[in-house]
Amino acid sequence: MSLPQADRREARGPRLARRVDAIAPFRVMELVKRASALAAAGHPVIQMNIGEPDFTAPPPVIAALKRAAEQGLSQYTPALGIEPLRRAIARDYGERHGLDISPSRVVVTAGASASLLLACCALVEVGDQVLMTDPSYPCNRHFVSAFNGIPTLVPVGPDSRFQMTRNLLESHWTPATAGALLATPANPTGTSIPFAELAGIVDAIRARGGFSLIDEIYLGLSYEGRPRSALELGDDVIVCNSFSKTFSMTGWRLGWLVVPESLVPAFEKLAQNLFICASALAQHAALACFEPESLAIFEAQRESFRRRRDFIVPALREAGLDVPVTPDGAFYVWIDCARVAASSMDFAERLLEEAWVSIVPGHDFGTHEADRYLRLSYATAQLQLEEAVGRISRLIQAR
């Protein structure tokens, strides 16, 4: 028996909330799928698209995971995280940055994404504007949109190292602005906000009664001098970090926030209801990240990324591409392709289809001059980097 036409329409499923339309597809992941399909078909694709270390968790962390599993430490944990891990994170801020952070301010989360979702849920009212840079990591603006806030993109360029400045923030602040979500070092540019500038930004936000939410997931992958956490700037600053990048544990989905003491109960309540807790096994294993053997491995990995940066930036320039600002952190290069192509999207497609090199056009990261820029991730082996640059150079010469 067939359904009447009206009933057939209803059978297709319920309508979606309007907020879904405000969240664009993550083109990077689509590009990764396409590149992977070409590789599976036998093409020698070099993937320089996804922001993921080519390293994995070190042996002490793997051993700790096995012990936790064997001991049955897989039940729910407190929503804020297990106490030993919160203490270890707080202690690391003391040892690495000279900061006295109370473990009670540390909120362990299911990755940095969960951290930022919790923060936006706690801080963003319907219709609130949240300032961030254009370009910036696309999911950050979608976290704001998910709670019916308005991500307000501030165009930035080489003159500010593709970062926010106090002057830019003040000129874009309106009565509807609630705060700013900034990343330093940043994805996709690999650039940091100079610390004096960051201090000025936080002061300007504080004077306006707003929130400063600082994404520091690449802070441990800084290459110029001693990295400084925004937590130096006051107990009202909220910082997000993760085990994904510095600790090479992307799929473990483990991160953390440091929040003002007064906000801990609110974040605990939200975490209890939205996530229950982060992975118990990942939490117990992550304790081994702070052992001397692991820290030495992470430092060696950081040095490897620095050496790759020191190779890839001049090599790209020699190949005919512009890199207007040398990155000082993370593992990305923000490339200006205007001299060799009219469209970063077209150039990225040619690279993939003709040279088997996969990098990401700027359109994922904002709208400001997106057709001009591409993001390259150098989180791949040195020999692969050298081969990729050779292919890029030959493609440019053949145009």
Q: Which pLDDT tens digit goes with each residue over 178-211?
A: 999 999 999 999 999 999 999 999 999 999 999 9
- 288 φ/ψ angles, rounded to the nearest 5 degrees: -75, -10
Task: Please give the pLDDT value at position 8.
Answer: 45
How far apart are the C-alpha atoms of 177 and 186, rounded to whole Å? Answer: 22
**What CATH number should be reported for the domain whose range is 23-56+294-397?**
3.90.1150.10
Q: Which CATH class for the 59-291 domain? A: alpha beta
Beta bridge partners of 180: 131, 212
pLDDT at 17: 86
Task: Return the half-sphere exposure (C-beta side, CA atoms, 13 A cut-off) of residue 176.
Answer: 10
Q: CA triplet 299, 158, 208: central angle to 5 degrees?
A: 85
C-alpha 204/C-alpha 388 separation (Å) is 43
Strand partners, 179: 130, 211
Note the pLDDT of residue 186.
98
Residue 103 has a pLDDT of 98
Neighbours of 10 (CB within 10 A): 10
DSSP state of 75: S
Phi-psi region of 111 (alpha: psi -120 to 50; beta: other; left: phi over 0): left
Is the Cα dihedral 344, 141, 368, 191 positive or negative? negative
Give the pLDDT confidence score for residue 256 in this predicted structure.
98
160 vs 175: CA distance, rounded Å: 25
User: What DSSP element (H or E) covers 152?
Assistant: strand 150-155
DSSP string, 293-356: HHHHHHHHHHHHHHHHHHHHHHHHHHHT-B-SS---BTTEEEEE-TTT-S-HHHHHHHIIIII-
Helix residue ranges per DSSP H, the chain? 5-10, 27-40, 59-70, 83-97, 111-123, 138-146, 166-172, 195-207, 264-274, 280-286, 292-319, 344-350, 382-397
Going by their DSSP bridges, the two strands 238-242 and 255-258 should be labelled as antiparallel
What span, in angstroms and rounded, lies between the C-alpha atoms of 176 and 209? 12
Determine the pLDDT at residue 307.
97
- Give domain limits for the chain: 23-56+294-397, 59-291
- Its pTM stands at 0.93
Which residues does the chain have with pLDDT short of 50? 1, 3, 6, 8-11
Strand partners, 132: 153
